[in-house]
Amino acid sequence: MSDKFYYDHLRNIDNTLDNNDRLRAFVQIYSSAKINGQHYVHFDGKENLIQIYTPSHKLHYYSSCFLLKQKYTDTPINTVSRQAQQLRRFLDFLEFWNIDLLQVDTFTVVVSFVSYLRLLKSLRATPNRAIEWSLLKQLPLHERAKHFGKVSSIGLNLEGIMVKDRFEDFSYNTISGFVETACNYLVFLKKETHELADIDLTSIPVKQRAITTTISGTTGRKTKVMVTNVHAILSEASFSLPNASSDLIQPLSEEVMTEEDVNNFMSLIPSEDIQTRLLFYILKSFGIRRAEARNLLFVSKNLPKDFYLWDINKAQEWVKNEMECDLSYDNTLKAWVCAVVKREVSNFQSQNKTVRPRLIPNYFSQQELTNLLLEHIKERQLVMEETRQEHDYLFYSTSNNSKGEAITGGTIYARYRSVISGSEKVDFYLRFSPHSFRHFFATHLIRIKRKLIYDVSRWLGHRDEKTTRTIYLHYLPGLDNLPSDNKVGDMAATFKNGGKE
């Protein structure tokens, strides 16, 4: 590539909160940058091999080994050919941004790859002309990408109804395939190469999938394997299924953690890892989204310089009464509340879905949250001094190469997987993700705390009560006599009235 762009620049753009602003920034770079060709696919008919070559006509060794492995695991040649075309796009992307896979957040990389694909033409060179890719001097963007934000995408469909056209040349399913192949390639590099064995893939979301094998087909039992959660990656890139709308919202069908499951998960977190304990305590207690959790602010300039040396009682009083943070203690409610707002600032990796500001009361242990928050603030103060970082985000990175910086989009996934890794219940908790704590919050408040669906909907940040009612249809109170919590029974009403009885 003749123009030099690097991961730090990519990360800064990808951190932009607004999806349109992010795409506009990418369009500006991709449309003006000069390149020295792209990777291309070569098919060797004699050996029946598919290989990928660099723009300078050198064999790209690792990607060709990846394709060779697919062939020798009985993957149909047409599938291998499709994977080759998908993979060369990922290699182009890595080269454009000069990405060193050992020095980056791989989740940021694959999420940004989605935006890259949305802007490209879907043209494909025929096999005998594939080398023409190596001669390109500019990225092949489609016309709507070049004019993004300047021309309306609203038009009439065949029935004469005004609709919004899809922005991309590639379909949602096609881009899903690109991302899946890219992630499989990263796994291959980590497992099969010595040079790249230290790639950190813990931030890439995964899910459990049941597959049928020859043996399982005979026994009737399906084999469960871990695969990349491509849908989560595309969602993080603010790329949704066509015609996605509230009308298509379906009742929650996935398994929901019980309070015992959540408590068992919390017990797996090492007692000395205060930040992770606080992070997941907040997720379960307030039901906020990952993007909302990593955007929580703490005004550090008001923190006393010797706070970490304070007596615990004095420190607790400061945290409850003087601390400026999105988490605050309401003395009328005698409870912690969490303020969630949409901030139009550069921030981590995905568009925050927060529509209206909301305050969420804590219905779990107030003292436990006080203790966790107090210890976290003390640790945060020491880390900020050590690393000389300056920002007001509540949560910070503990990784060696980014210690003290605000956490990124993959951090919460990585910490979840780190907590369950090696535990006896790893298979059970692999069914869930950090988002599962949001479902726990909603179902627990509806079924156990017996909170009004209207209140739960507001606390979740849904656009309307209908959305909440549809998703949690199976969890709405019925004729069954489930336990309720009388001790906090009137907290919602008091809170709704601004603290007035």
Q: What is the pLDDT along the chain (501 residues), one digit of tens a residue?
A: 446 899 999 988 887 757 788 888 999 999 999 999 999 998 877 777 899 999 999 999 999 999 999 988 888 888 899 999 999 999 999 999 999 999 999 999 999 999 999 999 987 666 556 778 888 999 999 888 887 765 444 444 443 443 445 678 888 899 999 999 999 999 999 999 999 999 999 889 888 777 655 454 555 566 677 789 998 899 888 887 765 444 456 778 778 999 999 999 999 999 999 999 999 999 999 999 988 998 999 999 999 999 999 999 999 999 999 999 999 999 999 999 999 987 654 433 434 555 568 999 999 999 999 999 999 999 999 999 999 999 999 999 998 888 999 987 678 988 999 999 989 999 899 889 899 999 999 999 999 999 999 999 999 998 788 888 888 988 877 534 444 454 444 444 444 444 444
Please give the single-letter amino acid code of residue 406.
A
> Per this entry, what is the length of the chain?
501
**Spans of all domains in the chain:** 7-236, 248-496
Task: Give the tens place of pLDDT for each residue, 107-131.
Answer: 999 999 999 999 999 876 665 567 7
Cα angle, residue 269 at apex, residues 267 and 275 outer, rounded to 5°: 125
Question: For position 183, what pLDDT does the model report?
Answer: 96
Q: What distance in Å separates the CA atoms of residue 436 and residue 401, rounded to the nearest whole number?
A: 29
With the C-alpha atoms ordered 185, 187, 188, 192, is the resulting torsion angle positive or negative?
A: positive
Q: What distance in Å separates the CA atoms of residue 132 and residue 125, rounded to the nearest whole number?
A: 8
CATH class (in words) of the domain with range 248-496: mainly alpha
CA atoms within 13 A on the CB side of 317: 5
Question: For position 488, what pLDDT does the model report?
Answer: 43
Q: What distance in Å separates the CA atoms of residue 180 and residue 362, rounded to the nearest whole number?
A: 38
Segments in 193-330 forming alpha helices (H): 214-219, 230-236, 259-268, 274-286, 290-294, 312-321
Q: What distance in Å separates the CA atoms of residue 215 and residue 178, rounded to the nearest whole number?
A: 30
Kindly give, in sequence order, each residue whose CB lies less than 8 Å from that of residue 298, ignoring residues fewer than 6 positions away: 323, 324, 325, 326, 377, 380, 392, 393, 394
Segments in 97-167 forming alpha helices (H): 106-119, 143-146
For 91, other C-beta atoms within 10 Å of its C-beta total 19
Please give the single-letter amino acid code of residue 174.
T
Task: Give the tens place of pLDDT for each residue, 328-339.
Answer: 999 999 999 999
Q: What is the DSSP string of 327-338?
A: EEEETTTTEEEE
Between the two ends of the chain, the Cα-to-Cα distance in Å is 66
Q: What is the DSSP string of 450-469?
A: ---HHHHHHHHT-SSHHHHH
